[in-house]
Homo-oligomer: A and B are copies of this chain.
Amino acid sequence: MRLATLRNGTPDGALAVVSGDGHRYLSTAAVAPTLQAALDDWRRVEGPLRRLAVAVESGEGVPLDDRALVAPLPRAWQWLDGSAFDAHGRLMTRLFGLQAKQADRPLMYQGLSHQFLGPCDDVPLPRESDDIDFEGEFGVVTDAVPMGVSSSQAAAHIVLVVIVNDWSLRALAREEMKTGFGWVQAKPACSLGPYAITPDALGTGWDRHRAQLRLRVEVNGARFGDPHGGEMSVGFDELIAHAAATRTLCAGTIVGSGTVSNDDYLTTGSSCIAERRAIELLEHGAATTPFLRFGDRVRISAIDRSGRSPLGAIDQRVVNSRATDVSAAEGAV
């Protein structure tokens, strides 16, 4: 089942079930008006939503204009981002000189969740000198998770799979990481892909609680990387159990994989600039790939074995928030 959210002038938008080819949708208003409402009551609404999905697959519904889609969850109560690709962690540790990874526990931080940018929205940021970077990731959306679940119990709480661009400001990240407090300024609003899909709908693209898909990243139309999602050192089940050790997770919590990265990074490329710069430094003694400039475009999609893109694409342009937002510009010195 493939879900998406249509722009309707409200903060949470209108939930829709979308056909596999992405051409048609059916409103779910009679079952659940928003994705958050559906997740709050998932056990009751999953059946009716799946019946709508069968209907749209059989030809019902109306034409879908991709530009009408916002993020599946335009806001969420909680965004917890892991760092489960150890190849990325090792490279970043060498770049930043911090010994981040603890042997016995996943890495995770809590980030901004009151706003997720839609797949085609511009990305407003204040300064190129903050070293603007992207991070291509997979994410899962959970229903309500009790405190203290085991990883085997946690697996049943994975409701939907999404792709994420975890925008990062590297010049600020280095400073904030030294404090031990995690990132605030270095992590502005993330972006989500257009579709949130139940794991079963990914077929062989979902196994061992990991997305078995390549994450294809393009910058200004050129390939940047296409690392595989299967190389997570811990699965989403373990990330959820880690997150829920001392808290309940509310329905609609989004848990991220961290930057997708593979051991054979020289072949697969990277899904963030900082990692490519670390590789350049290791291989050639100097980092040459620049961070993003205003006007640059980043496209992220997840590709299955058949070359299809079941989670859709995030395709955005970075813009100067001070040029586009009068109130923000007034606040800037």
Contacts and interface: CB of A to CB of B under 8 A. Distances in A.
A89 to B, nearest CB: 10
A98 B185 contact: no
A245 B100 CA distance: 26
Contacts of A124: 147
A222 interface: no
Contacts of A113: 77-78
Interface of A: 75, 77-78, 80, 83, 98-102, 105, 107-115, 124-126, 130, 146-150, 153, 169, 172, 175, 177-186, 188-189, 242-248, 250, 253, 321-322, 325, 327-333
Contacts of A114: 77-78, 250, 253
Given A111-B110, A175-B105, A245-B126, A98 B325 contact: no
Nearest to A146: B327
A240 to B, nearest CB: 11
Contacts of A248: 115, 189
A77 B80 contact: no
Contacts of A177: 180-181
B333 A150 contact: yes
Contacts of A246: 125-126, 130, 169, 172, 185-186, 188
**Interface residue SS majority, chain A:** loop
B181 A109 contact: yes
A182 B148 CA distance: 20
Given A101-B179, A110-B184, A146-B328, 17 more contacts: A78-B114, A98-B180, A99-B178, A100-B180, A102-B179, A107-B179, A115-B250, A124-B147, A126-B148, A147-B331, A148-B322, A148-B329, A153-B330, A180-B180, A180-B182, A185-B246, A188-B246
Contact of A181 (B182, B185, B243, B247): B182
A242 B147 contact: no
Q: How many copies does the complex hold?
A: 2
Contacts of A331: 146-150, 153, 244
A80 B243 CA distance: 18
A107 B181 contact: yes
Given A102-B178, A175-B102, A247-B189, A184 B242 contact: yes
* Max count, chain B CB within 10 A of own CB: residue among A98, A110, A329: A110
B175 A147 contact: no
A100 B181 contact: yes
Contact of A180 (B77, B178, B189, B325): B178
